[in-house]
Structure 1
Amino acid sequence: MSKLFLNALKMSPVALAATFSVANSAIAGEVTSVSQLTQESSQEMGQVTSVSQFSDVQPTDWAFQALQSLVERYGCIAGYPNGTYRGNRALTRYEFAAGLNACLDRVNELIATATADLVTKEDLATLQRLQEEFSAELATLRGRVDSLEARTAELEANQFSTTTKLKGEAIFALSSAFGDQAADTDNDDDNNPDLQDNVTFSNRLRLRLLTSFTGTDQLETRLNAANITQFRGGVTGTNMTRLGFDSNNGNNVELDKLNYAFNATDAVRVKVEAIGARVSNNINVFNPLFKSSSSGAISRFGRFSSIYRANSGSDSSGLTVSFNPKGRFSFDAAYVVPNASDPSDGNGAFNGSNTALAQLSFKPSKQIGLGLVYSRVFQTGSDVNLTGSIGSGFAADPFGDVATTSNNYGVQASFQPSDQIVISGWAGLTNATAESGANEGADADIFYWSANVGIKDFGAEGNVLGLIVGQSPKVTDSDIAAREDSDTSFHLEGLYKMKLTDNIAVTPGLMVIFNPEHNNDNDTIYVGTIRTTFKF
């Protein structure tokens, strides 16, 4: 800092406080760009009438008299919205120049309003010398402001929309399922079909339009095109091997999500979904590192509990109401219908398949979360899929394609013992009842669980190392003995997400399914993938 700046310490209290207090209150902390300066300046509070309004300024402070005089004589002081002055903050030459310029503007205003007698000649001389000393910095700031204004004007002239943001995501994946044979449901391993193990290269592209009319609401419109193979059926013989990001519409661009969310009150959030209703997008599933299809688990099973999947999908409609969503205790209620737009018998919003779900969540801190969830599901005919295509075939439709109701109970939890480690998991129990057909009144119990560990910033900032183990949905007891799973399958998954840039991540991963379809006669199946995700 120049000698003139050091000599400024000898000026009168008014001039000294004018230069330093305005600089400190106008800009807090180190500023390296005009955009940062503008952002910090937006946090100022208005003109104060007494120095006692600052909670951190005491009569015993060495600059108290100067600040008091500054308020009474010049009215040239501002602080922060929380009522603090922060007089001990360090400042750069740019900050000092900006504060000096603000004070000069105030002095000129006083002179113009015929109150120049409040300003001494000595103060004006000192301020003039300071202005000359910092002329280069002031010119630089003015140049940066002019440049920023020009850039802002250009952005406003060419912006996509004043109310809508466009976000995009592209996934490219190399994937393969491998092992000896595909799975089946019988106890004869001699008739299992061949496993389709050719390596595939596929993609998924999504474009999201997010529109807000009030600042607190959001209209979401999403377009989707994909050709990612679903490792099931004729490929592996089981849903247990499905990827968490699979989607295949032949790369045709389709509207697969349309919804509108708004605040009914300060404590109530409402979301109406015309198509693409998925409960897991609207409430906490307590699996923060692995729930995303583009950056989370590589498997469908590892993303979140299957209790959230029944009747959800691209053709589903729904309504979710969240009470106190940001509080320690919160409550969510959801209603999802897969065929709401179909007026034929056994369909519609209330006469066909549907899911009614309620969840009570408790988050005593940022490190701990617990959720208790219950859902009542009704499905008919080809809609019957109680597990959302995750577990065994028997668990998905324990009585075949007949009308089925189920009561589903789940517990979810997450725990973060340190900044880097996140532990999460869930357990669920389903009691299903056949509502029609030859087995009307028959019952079946389905059980599943998962335990997950994620290590953040492993190897580099933004990377995630993950391990997922669990048991996919299994029919543990059934009145129809032939549709009860005889053995137990286990899911093991490892992945490593590498964040290359803010927009690009590469995730190699491997999942291993032991005893597929909960059948010891089936060979172990492996699914490996390298998922590359681009976001913009």
Structure 2
Amino acid sequence: MTKSFWNVLKLSPVVVAATFIAANSALAAEVNEQVTTVAQLSQESNDIGQVTSVSQFSDVQPTDWAFQALQSLVERYGCIAGYPNGTYRGNRALTRYEFAAGLNACLDRVNELIATATADLVTKQDLTTLQRLQEEFSAELATLRGRVDSLEARTSELEANQFSTTTKLKGEAIFALASVFGDERAGGGDLQDNIIFADRVRLGFESSFTGQDKLQVRLEAANITQFDGDVTGTRMTRLGFDGDNGNNVEVDKANYAFNFGPAKVKVEAVGAELYENINVFNPGLNSSGSGAISRYGRFSPIYRQGSGGAGVTVQLNPTGAFTLSGAYLAPRSNNPGDGFGIADGDYAAFGQLEFKPSQALSVGFTYAHTYDGGFDTDAEADVNLTGSTGSSLARRPFGDGVATTGNHYGIQASFQPSSKLSVGGWAGYTTAIAEAGAARGSDADLFYWAATLGLKDFGREGNLLGVIFGQPPRVTNNDIATREDPDTSYHLEALYKMRFSDNIAITPGVLVIFNPEHNDANDTIYVGTIRTTFSF
């Protein structure tokens, strides 16, 4: 405290009022000589209440040295405040900013008393002392007023120029430089290995009407080639952020999430995806814009079941040690024809039990039952048991257009021993049954696994080094012997995300597929990319 402050204790009650009010002022509650925000000032103002008697303070006793001063302030000037719980908190530390703010508040009160009260209420000596103190603290008062005015101006500007009072606009733009490398495509033939430069842009509108709900509508335009088919001969080389609609703007998501009692519910009209709604146990690597560069490296294929159409997802106890999730998705729900729609067409019924005994460890046990009708002129809408992540045989174990039922079982885990290290992985098993054609009644078994490693803040804060290794979905057994995968493919991926700001990140990465299509006769294929992500 300065010498001037100690002199205050020898002055009249008016000056002492400035000191005690400063400790409870609604205008200054921040320490380390910083000015509080407008929101904080408003909140503290709500927490302080006027008192009419010093006896209302539970922590002020008649034996306290300040009791008489406080009593005088209450009875003579009426400018003393306390907290709702009936305390005064006279032992709080006092900063210069708090003192300046309290002095300013007391001056306003004194001016009011001068205008309305009798002449002997304030003495000439009181006014002289107050004037001297006001001059001494003029710099602090000016700083306080200036910074509060600046905050009010900035708040007014934000309110005047905000996108909407109920809707937030979020955007993401990806620019990707990518190419494939190797001797031949899987199955033979030349790789289409020219370097591409392509983009994907998303704009999301998120509205809330109660503060506990969210309406999302997202637009997308993209022209990023899928590295499959004629390009590499296998879908194992697909990028995690690919997609090509000719850069036409389309609505790719429309959903509404809300709380229903203890449950969290999300209803989706288009673009329903399990991995957007529940934990997929691959933190830092699950995002298409900032995570793994490959499709398989983002998360287990079990979370891709039923994607693309309408659906509903329900979660119980989403913040507890045990979380139970259930979902029903219908990928071709908008088609009213026979064999389509919500109840008569393709569907995925999904359930997951997540166990999180600590903040570091989480384990998930997952089951999905699916039906793929297999009759659609669009090849991409045909049977797809693996979400386009494994071999062509694993995708359609009984051939094109054969209706197939699948029972999918998965276990996933994530372990984060520190804030900078995460390890995890998944394993999955699928039993498939042919429901039509010559193969009707045939069974097939599929298996896949992966392990992941993420090092956060590697080299610089915000950066991420990621490594993923595993085996994409493979047909291990099939009643149709000619449709079993003969060997085993391995997926190896490494990436390094470099964050240059909160809005810009650049991620170089490489993907290696050994024995593509689970056939050791196929040459190793490499995929390299540099993904630049802009977000706001």
Is TM-score (shorter-chain normalized) higher than 0.5?
Answer: yes
Q: Which runs of 5+ in 2 are unaligned?
A: 375-380
1:76 to 80, 85, 89: 80
Q: Which residue of 2 aligns with 1:356?
A: 349
Give the deviation of 1:51 after TM superposition.
9.5
Q: Does the alignment pair 1:398 with 2:385? A: no
Q: Secondary structure at the match of 2:49?
A: coil
Deviations 1:339-379 (A, max 9, x none): 11110000001110001111111223322211111111111
Separation (CA, whole Å) in 2 of partners of 1:383 and 1:82? 71
Superposed, 1:398-417 pairs within 5 Å as 398-400=397-399, 401-417=401-417
Contact kept, 8 Å, 2:514 with 2:525, in 1: the verdict is yes
Q: Does the alignment pair 1:443 with 2:443? A: yes
Q: Which residue of 1 aligns with 2:208?
A: 212
Deviations 1:203-230 (A, max 9, x none): 1111111111111211111111111111
Separation (CA, whole Å) in 2 of partners of 1:287 and 1:240? 19
Separation (CA, whole Å) in 2 of partners of 1:378 and 1:293? 27
Separation (CA, whole Å) in 2 of partners of 1:210 and 1:452? 32
Moved more, 300-309 or 319-328: 319-328
Give the deviation of 1:131 after TM superposition.
2.8
Q: Which residue of 1 aligns with 2:263?
A: 268
Contact kept, 8 Å, 2:26 with 2:48, in 1: the verdict is no
2:97 to 94, 97, 115: 94
Q: Secondary structure at the match of 1:235?
A: coil
Separation (CA, whole Å) in 2 of partners of 1:62 and 1:414? 58
Superposed, 1:483-494 pairs within 5 Å as 483-494=483-494
Superposed, 1:53-132 pairs within 5 Å as 74=78, 76-78=80-82, 88-89=92-93, 91=95, 93-105=96-108, 127-132=130-135
User: What TM-score results when the alignment is normalised by the length of structure 2?
Assistant: 0.88
Q: Which residue of 1 aligns with 2:378?
A: none
| C-alpha distance 533-210 of structure 1, shift in aligned 2 (>3 A) | same
Q: Which residue of 2 aligns with 1:294?
A: 289
Contact kept, 8 Å, 1:24 with 1:86, in 2: the verdict is no
Give the deviation of 1:531 after TM superposition.
0.4
Greater Rg, structure 1 or structure 2? Answer: 2
1:170 to 169, 173, 182: 173
Contact kept, 8 Å, 2:503 with 2:534, in 1: the verdict is yes
Q: Which residue of 2 aligns with 1:323?
A: 316
- Letter aligned with residue 288 of structure 1: P
Q: Does the alignment pair 1:366 with 2:365? A: no
Moved more, 354-363 or 492-501: 354-363
| C-alpha distance 84-287 of structure 1, shift in aligned 2 (>3 A) | farther
Separation (CA, whole Å) in 1 of partners of 2:452 and 2:57? 49
Deviations 1:32-69 (A, max 9, x none): 45xx53243344224286999999x7989988859975
Moved more, 381-390 or 347-356: 381-390
Separation (CA, whole Å) in 2 of partners of 1:84 and 1:453? 54
| C-alpha distance 179-117 of structure 1, shift in aligned 2 (>3 A) | farther
| C-alpha distance 511-133 of structure 1, shift in aligned 2 (>3 A) | same
2:194 to 198, 206, 214: 198
Q: Which runs of 5+ in 1 are unaligned?
A: 185-191
User: What TM-score results when the alignment is normalised by the length of structure 1?
Assistant: 0.88
- Letter aligned with residue 316 of structure 2: F
Q: Secondary structure at the match of 2:268?
A: strand
Separation (CA, whole Å) in 1 of partners of 2:70 and 2:17? 12
Q: Secondary structure at the match of 2:24?
A: helix
Separation (CA, whole Å) in 1 of partners of 2:199 and 2:385? 28
Separation (CA, whole Å) in 2 of partners of 1:470 and 1:89? 59
Separation (CA, whole Å) in 2 of partners of 1:255 and 1:282? 18
Identity, in percent, stands at: 60
| C-alpha distance 441-19 of structure 1, shift in aligned 2 (>3 A) | same
Give the deviation of 1:486 after TM superposition.
1.5
The count of aligned residue pairs is: 522
Separation (CA, whole Å) in 2 of partners of 1:270 and 1:433? 32
2:29 to 6, 27, 30: 27
Q: Does the alignment pair 1:470 with 2:465? A: no
Separation (CA, whole Å) in 2 of partners of 1:254 and 1:280? 21
Q: Does the alignment pair 1:385 with 2:368? A: no
Q: Which residue of 2 aligns with 1:135?
A: 138
Q: Secondary structure at the match of 2:440?
A: coil
Q: Which residue of 2 aligns with 1:334?
A: 327
